Amino acid sequence: MTTRLPIAPERIADTLPLTNDERHYLLDVLRLGDGAEIEVFDGLGGRYLARLSLVNGALSLGERLAELENASGVSLAPALIKNDRLDWVVEKATELGAMRVLPLQCDNCVVRLDGNKGGQRQARWQKIAQAASRQCGRAFIPEVTAPARLESVLERARDAGELAIVLFEREVEQSFSDLVRSIDPKRQLLIVSGPEGGFREEEIAKARALGARTVSLGKRILRAETAPIAALAIAQALRGEM
């Protein structure tokens, strides 16, 4: 399996000196030798062949490799849920090709992550996304934002021309897959899912007023971590990404 190393875009250069952590990972953990070939990715979609040079403790970058994914995409806005289960959602969302993950602080969330705590958790989720991108061969690392209120996330989506699709177990008319099938695959989507206790009616009314569509994932009630991942997999399959 190809060794893959994430490198921030501003560090990309023909000769790329390694940090101590990177040297430790490549030499001590992976036990790579002089001249070993690896792949470097910048988290924005760029990936390069690179050769390890032990003499100057650097990587020599070679050709830029073909892009693996197109710019249009699907983002996920899952509500905060208990017991670190959002860690799992971030990891799976990255594997399934999410462009961004925007954790939501909803009215019924048992978990509250305000201020500092939200920032700390965001840093942890971003690391999880980076590790998952490295593992699954993506050159793109989804941005994970700090927890935000549903309303502000939906306003941002509307202003960016993204279609917000709210998973709502009491929706009886519109199925998620029928809606996704009817949308131009180039349109950016934001899949929004609720916490263990679901969305409040007032949140649903506000979401609809902000242009979001509400959809059903079928008759079974899925757990709060299952619903967003199931929906993302369906959307990616229907849009030819899987």
- Minimum CB distance to ligand SAM smaller for 18 or for 150: 150
- Minimum CB distance to ligand SAM smaller for 58 or for 224: 224
- Binding region for ligand SAM (CB under 6 A) out of 3-11, 42-50, 67-75, 213-221: 213-221
Sheet (strand 100-101) strand order: 143-144, 100-101, 74-78, 189-193, 163-167, 213-215
User: Torsion over CA of 169, 175, 176 and 178, rounded to 10 degrees?
Assistant: 180
CB of 183 to ligand SAM, least distance (A): 17
Contacting ligand SAM within 219-238 (CB under 6 A): 220-224, 227
- Minimum CB distance to ligand SAM smaller for 2 or for 182: 182
CB of 196 to ligand SAM, least distance (A): 5
For residues 178 and 60, give the distance between their C-alpha atoms in angstroms, rounded to a whole number. 48
Tell me the residue type at 174: Q
Q: Name residue 15's beta-bridge partners.
A: 60
CB of 175 to ligand SAM, least distance (A): 9
Give the residue, chosen from 94, 105, 145, 193, that forms a contact with ligand SAM under the rule CB under 6 A: 193
Told to check if 83 binds ligand SAM by CB under 6 A, we report no
- Minimum CB distance to ligand SAM smaller for 68 or for 110: 110
CB of 185 to ligand SAM, least distance (A): 22
Helix (H) or strand (E) holding 70, with range, is: none
Q: Are 43 and 140 in contact (CB under 8 A)?
A: yes
Told to check if 33 binds ligand SAM by CB under 6 A, we report no
Q: What b/e sequence results for 55-88 when a residue is b if at least 16 CB atoms lie within 10 Å of its CB, and e otherwise?
A: eeebbebeeeeeeeeeeebbbbbbbbbeeebbee
Residues lying near ligand SAM in the complex (CB under 6 A) are found at 167-169, 193-194, 196-199, 216-218, 220-224, 227
